[in-house]
Amino acid sequence: GFLHYMVDSCEFNSSKLNDVEYIYSHYYNKLEYVRFSSSVGKFVGYTEVGIKNAERLNNGPEVINRRAQKERYCFHNVGIFTESALTKS
């Protein structure tokens, strides 16, 4: 069978917002074909289909929504994670 899935992730070394990178990736059959990275600020395609999708997503409202996710999704969750990790150490 075929499997399509999306992954949201936050990579960080500290709880400071400028040290956090938000990544949103689309996969098909375990192959990443398009990714949004807050470091780049836009979608990037890795396959022929991914390049076409990245162009479409970068010209629509989706790119604006993803740019805001770093603060909305990552900063909130990084704060919860670091707080709970520090209280258990």
Topology (CATH level 3) of domain 4-88: 3.10.320
Give the model's confidence band at 65: pLDDT under 50 very low, under 70 low, under 90 confident, else very high: very high
pLDDT at position 46 over 60: yes
Say yes or no to pLDDT of 42 above 80.
Answer: yes
**For residues 21 and 37, is the Cβ–Cβ distance under 8 A?**
yes
Structure tokens at 59: 């010209």
- Sequence-ordered list of residues with C-beta below 8 angstroms from that of 8, at least 6 positions apart, any chain: 22, 23, 24, 69, 73
